Amino acid sequence: MTITDFRAPLPPSAGIDLDSPAIPFTRLVRVELRKLVDTRASFWLTASIGLISATIMVAMLIANRNTPENLDLGEFFGIMNIPTAIILPVLAILLVTGEWSQRTALTTFTIEPRRERIIGAKLATAMIAAVAAVALALILGVIGNGIAAVAYGDPAGAWELGSAGFVNSFVIQAFGLLLGFGFAALILNTPGAIVAYFALPTALSVLSELVPWFKENLGQWVDCTLTQMPFQSNEWASGGEWARLLVSAVVWVAIPLGLGVVRVMRSEIK
């Protein structure tokens, strides 16, 4: 259509068409993925995951030049996941709270007024980012390990990476990201959500120290530092450990996220 067509009469069906197709969920996810990289701030935050991982790879190669036994795939992969675990939750928080701090929620929820679908698309986008971050850590780990194998020779460059270690890394990443996401949906404010996310483990530790009853009874079920501990290894967690992780996820992820969705659905968008 050209500008002159702007003067052409509208179609005679003057009323509102209720039969036109809804916006597919996949399209909402694609738009949210695009938002991860379409401003300078969001681009560099997203890119920093790759940049920091690459920096770590180089730093590990240099720092361990006299201790090549420390260079294997598991080491590379494990250490690269540490900065990612800090950045991903922040990314997830900004994905949600950015709509409020930048006031773009007004446009977003006007184009798709079914707000729960936007939240769902953002959650899917955050999970895709987590999968991509873990995959990137694996790829860079393989590259770093390959370099170590060639440069330093045996014992550097062992390729063992158990599937347990891999799954555990992903579980930890996903847990942190969902935790951030849920707090973001509940608090709808960037600094508030970030502070709450980072203060929670400390607050629970302090509570454990001050209230022995909490430590002995509830702590092992709701203190997410404790429930995540078994997943910071290359061993499969036991059924009980999975159960504790799930309980802490319900308390710190499902409940805030559920309340947050209700809040977003009911709130006034200004």
Q: Least distance (Å) from other proteins to the CB of residue 186? A: 19
Query: How many C-beta atoms lie closer than 10 Å to residue 15's C-beta?
Result: 5
**Residue 158 φ/ψ, nearest 5 degrees:** -70, 145
Which residues in the 34-73 window bind other proteins by CB under 8 A?
34-35, 38-42
Using an 8 Å Cβ cutoff, are 96 and 122 in contact? yes
Q: What binding mask, one character per residue, do residues 179-218 give for other proteins by CB under 8 A, x or -?
A: ----------------------------------------
Taking CB under 8 A as the binding criterion, the range among 28-36, 67-75, 145-153, 208-216 that sits at the site for other proteins is: 28-36
**Interaction between residue 163 and other proteins (CB under 8 A):** no
Return the SS3 of 211. coil
Count of residues near other proteins by CB under 8 A: 46
How far is it, in rounded angstroms, from Cα 194 to Cα 93?
7
65/114 with CB nearer other proteins = 114
The shares of helix, strand and coil residues in the chain, as percent rounded to the nearest 5, are 80, 0, 20
27/65 with CB nearer other proteins = 27
Q: Least distance (Å) from other proteins to the CB of residue 152? A: 44
> Which one of 66, 110, 213, 239 is in contact with other proteins (CB under 8 A)?
110
Using an 8 Å Cβ cutoff, are 57 and 145 in contact? no
How far is it, in rounded angstroms, from Cα 229 to Cα 147?
31
How far is it, in rounded angstroms, from Cα 210 to Cα 203?
11
**Interaction between residue 112 and other proteins (CB under 8 A):** yes
> Which one of 167, 218, 246, 269 is in contact with other proteins (CB under 8 A)?
269
**Interaction between residue 8 and other proteins (CB under 8 A):** yes
Return the SS3 of 30. helix
- Cα-based distances in Å from 230 to 81, 217, 236, 241: 16, 18, 8, 7
Q: Least distance (Å) from other proteins to the CB of residue 242? A: 38
**Interaction between residue 160 and other proteins (CB under 8 A):** no
Structure tokens at 39: 């401003």
Residues that bind other proteins (CB under 8 A): 1-3, 6-10, 14-24, 27-28, 30-31, 34-35, 38-42, 98, 102-104, 106-107, 109-114, 266, 268-270
